[in-house]
Amino acid sequence: MPGLRDLTAEEKAKPYAKYFYREHAGPTPALAPYLDNPTPLDPAEALPIERRDDLLSPGYLTGETGYCLLPGGGAYVAVCHPMPGVTAEMIDWWFAWHGLEDLRYMLWSPEDHYAVSMSDEDRAKVLDPDRPLRLKFQGLTHHVYEDIGQGPDDLWISFMTPEDFGFDMSRWHAPHVATLVAANVLVKSGQAPEGSPLLPVAMCHFVRELPDGGGVEMRTRFWMGWQIVDKKPEFRLPQGMTIPEAVPAGLFRHCILEYSNLRVLLPEIYAEMGGVVA
């Protein structure tokens, strides 16, 4: 693990550099027990990707928090993360804002977030003042370098609109949902031999308001082995590739910790930056 790196003089001069040195917030109390005793889910509790519209129903589903290997070779990771004090607009802003430079991405999880980049074309879209906030990440691709549990990996995260992810748009409104961060992800393992196939993952951070109106909850799903193609899920695990249980277990832990830190950081940095993407 690279760990914390020294910031450049230019990075240190940024008004938000102070957050890089702040102590990690630690796991959200409701999720800390899952780190103390990380027992895999029964695969029968996992939400099949074909039933992702079930996230739009009131209440909760089985398998809201946990991980497991799935019959057929895939894997499943889920986290239901309460985020009091956070709004859907803050989350939209974060995913538009942080992709513009490495330091912003590193603030999120300094121990295991190292770099982020995007094409010049996508960068221009993020900086377009007339472009809607959500479309400053939905429809764009981030290339990130991070440790999601097994050492540093390269990930290509192609963010999607709810419609392109295949959700039922007739149900896509409050109070069922507040916003969505969903993507097709390709993972190049830093531990695999050069030329190894990429691991496909369908990622979904489904956000809705907390019942008391005091924030949001993020209901995360990772379906490892899948991609969304033409609004439908396809199992695309490369032939001969197997997913060890340590891979979803590591991602489960990483997801809890990175969003535990973000839920504390985000309201403060959003206010300081004035919600501006620049």
- Across the chain, mean pLDDT equals 96
Q: What is the mean pLDDT of residues 191-206?
A: 94
pLDDT band at 217 (very low <50, low <70, confident <90, very high): very high
Q: What is the mean pLDDT of residues 263-276?
A: 98
Residue 72 above 60 pLDDT?
Answer: yes
pLDDT of residue 1: 45
Is the CB of residue 3 less than 8 Å from the CB of residue 152? Answer: no
pLDDT of residue 192: 83
Fold of 63-273: Alpha-D-Glucose-1,6-Bisphosphate; Chain A, domain 4 (3.30.530)
Residue 186 above 50 pLDDT?
Answer: yes
pTM score, whole prediction: 0.96
User: CA dist 165 to 144, 227, 230, Å?
Assistant: 21, 9, 8
Q: What is the mean pLDDT of residues 220-225?
A: 99
Cα separation, 235 vs 61, in Å, equals 23
Q: What is the mean pLDDT of residues 242-268?
A: 98
Residue 134 above 90 pLDDT?
Answer: yes
Domain ranges for the chain, please list them: 63-273
Q: What is the mean pLDDT of residues 5-16?
A: 95
Chain centroid to Cα 230, Å, comes to 21
Burial label, 77 (beta-carbon count in 10 A; 0-12, 13-18, 19+): buried
Q: pLDDT (tens digit, 9 = 90+) per residue, 83-122? A: 999 999 999 999 999 999 999 999 999 999 999 999 999 9
Residue 43 above 90 pLDDT?
Answer: yes
Residue 25 above 90 pLDDT?
Answer: yes
